């Protein structure tokens, strides 16, 4: 809701509650410290004290209130190891895209090679029968937009730093995002093929930003690589698997699926297409699903190589066909019992959004009225 208790507002603004009440009275609003005022009034008060109030938009997928009991905590004994989901982050031009390409090329098995890779926003690398899932979304976007929606899909962050350039503003931003999300960072020191590359200088700059390399006595894994000349790629993949192993990433594959939309678009012929990263359970063709106000039965699923698949377990990205509308990236997708349940949930969410929009527009018209007076 957009209401706030006067006392809470005072606390948030670091003010004495009487200061806030005095200002309210000045505005003609009579409220005691335990009464609540609407968000707009709160914003005006905040402004008077030189602070800003941020309105958090109503999410279509607010799991705290309207997950309709779709999610539940799994028992420890039902949890099985799952592949790590990795996001590549770093300053522009330091080689994120090149590194993902290099990994894709080194990790495709013979049977997969030569095929046209379907762009689904994520890819699965196979290393000695172990999988690693890479998200294509630029790291900071994946972190900000998805985390704003409460979704955490990344297990490990690869921080790419060009050895001829060093730690830059977006590198620091990436470090902060990963730290805030409590995600372990592996540093890929890229472009070591360049004559001006200086690995020690990069390590020094990492230290200055709170990442102490392992070989300097800290606990940050750094791997020198060249995405262009494919040097060190295997070492990097090995380190990812090592960090994943230490993290003991687990999920219950034997339950109704829950996943996160990582990408979605409308295809003229096929209708709404969405890439889902399955996080719990196993998603299957024929499943009834709901994501935000979008629902439908899964007609077909494609893996990251463009191959039709019938099911996808934890950490696996798949493109799904069959949704009624294009869902939002970052929203959760739930598998539900039947069509009626899916429709009901989508309808209730739609009603809720409409209600919020009406509330907003009635506020606006009231303001207009006062302006005219």
Binding residues for GTP: 90-97, 136-140, 190-193
Select from 83, 95, 224, 281 the one that contacts ligand GDP (CB under 6 A). Answer: 95
Per-residue interface string for the shown chain with ligand GDP, residues 330-359, x marking contact by CB under 6 A: ------------------------------
* Residue environment code for 269-308, b if the CB has 16+ CB neighbours within 10 A, otherwise e: eeebbbbbbbbbbbbbbebbbbbbbbbbbbeebbbbbeee
In the complex, minimum distance from the CB of residue 321 to Mg ion, in angstroms, rounded to a whole number: 28
Annotate 301-354 with DSSP letters as a single string.
EE-TTS-EESEE-TT-EEEEE--SSPPPTT-EEEEESSHHHHHHHHHHHHHHHH
Question: Does the protein bind ligand GDP through residue 197 (CB under 6 A)?
Answer: no
CB 275 → Mg ion: shortest distance, Å?
A: 18
Nearer to ligand GDP, 186 or 261 (CB): 186
Q: Which of residues 128-167 bind ligand GDP (CB under 6 A)?
A: none
Q: How far apart are CA 274 and CA 266, in angstroms?
A: 9
User: What's the DSSP call for residue 35?
Assistant: S
Q: What angle do CA 97, 102, 108 make, to 5 degrees?
A: 125
251: Cβ contacts below 8 Å, ≥ 6 apart: 74, 79, 80, 82, 279, 280, 281, 314, 315
Q: Which of residues 38-67 bind Mg ion (CB under 5 A)?
A: none
Q: Which is nearer to ligand GDP, 9 or 178 (CB)?
A: 178
Establish if 97 lies at the interface with Mg ion (CB under 5 A).
yes
How far is residue 203's CA from residue 222's CA, in Å, rounded to a whole number? 8
Pairing of strands 156-162, 85-90: parallel
Q: Is 298 helix (H, G, I), strand (E, B) or coil?
A: coil
Closest CA to 38 of 55, 61, 25, 13: 55
Q: Is 193 in the site for ligand GDP (CB under 6 A)?
A: yes
Is the CB of 6 or the CB of 167 nearer to ligand GDP?
Answer: 167
Among 9, 20, 53, 96, the residue binding ligand GDP under the rule CB under 6 A is: 96
Written as six digits, the tokens of 370 are 């006062």
Identify which range of 35-43, 77-85, 108-116, 223-231 contacts ligand GDP by CB under 6 A. Answer: 223-231
190 near ligand GDP, rule: CB under 6 A? yes
97 binds ligand GDP (CB under 6 A): yes
Q: Which stretch binds ligand GDP (CB under 6 A): 26-34, 48-56, 77-85, 95-103?
A: 95-103
Q: Which is nearer to ligand GDP, 98 or 106 (CB)?
A: 98
Which helix or strand (DSSP H or E) is residue 264 part of? strand 258-267
Q: Where on the chain is the footprint of ligand GDP (CB under 6 A)?
A: 90, 92-98, 190-191, 193-194, 226-228
Q: Where on the chain is the footprint of Mg ion (CB under 5 A)?
A: 96-97
């Amino acid at each position: 809701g957009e209401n706030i208790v006067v006392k809470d507002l005072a606390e948030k603004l670091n003010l004495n509650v009487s200061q806030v009440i005095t200002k309210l009275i000045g505005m003609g609003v009579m409220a005691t410290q335990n009464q609540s005022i609407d968000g707009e009034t709160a914003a005006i008060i905040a402004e008077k004290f030189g602070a800003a109030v941020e309105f958090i938009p109503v999410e279509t997928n607010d799991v705290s209130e309207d997950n309709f009991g779709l999610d539940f905590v799994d028992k420890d004994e039902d949890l099985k190891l799952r592949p790590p989901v990795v996001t590549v982050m770093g300053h522009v031009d330091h080689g994120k895209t090149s590194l993902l390409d290099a990994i894709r090329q080194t990790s495709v098995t013979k049977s997969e090679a030569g095929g046209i890779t379907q762009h689904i926003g994520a890819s699965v690398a196979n290393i000695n029968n172990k999988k690693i899932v890479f998200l294509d979304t630029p790291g900071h976007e994946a972190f900000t937009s998805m985390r704003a929606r409460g979704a955490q899909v990344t297990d490990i962050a690869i921080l790419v730093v060009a050895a001829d350039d060093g730690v830059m503003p977006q590198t620091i931003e990436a470090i902060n995002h990963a730290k805030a999300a409590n995600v372990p960072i592996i540093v890929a020191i890229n472009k070591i093929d360049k004559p001006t590359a200086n690995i020690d200088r990069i390590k020094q700059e990492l230290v200055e930003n709170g990442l102490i390399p392992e070989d300097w006595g800290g606990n940050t894994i750094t791997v020198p690589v060249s995405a262009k000349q494919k040097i060190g790629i295997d070492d990097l993949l090995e380190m990812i698997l090592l960090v994943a192993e230490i993290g003991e990433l687990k999920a219950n594959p034997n339950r109704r699926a829950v996943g996160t939309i990582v990408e979605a678009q409308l295809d003229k012929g096929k209708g709404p297409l969405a890439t889902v990263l399955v996080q719990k359970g196993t998603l299957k063709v024929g499943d009834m699903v709901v994501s935000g106000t979008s629902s439908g039965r899964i007609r077909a699923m494609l893996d990251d190589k463009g191959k039709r698949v019938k099911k996808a377990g934890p950490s696996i990205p798949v493109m799904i066909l069959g949704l009624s509308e294009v869902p939002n990236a970052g929203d959760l997708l739930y598998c539900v019992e039947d069509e009626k349940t899916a429709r009901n949930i989508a309808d209730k969410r739609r009603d809720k959004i409409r209600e919020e929009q009406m509330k907003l527009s009635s506020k606006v018209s009231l303001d207009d009225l006062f302006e005219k007076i």
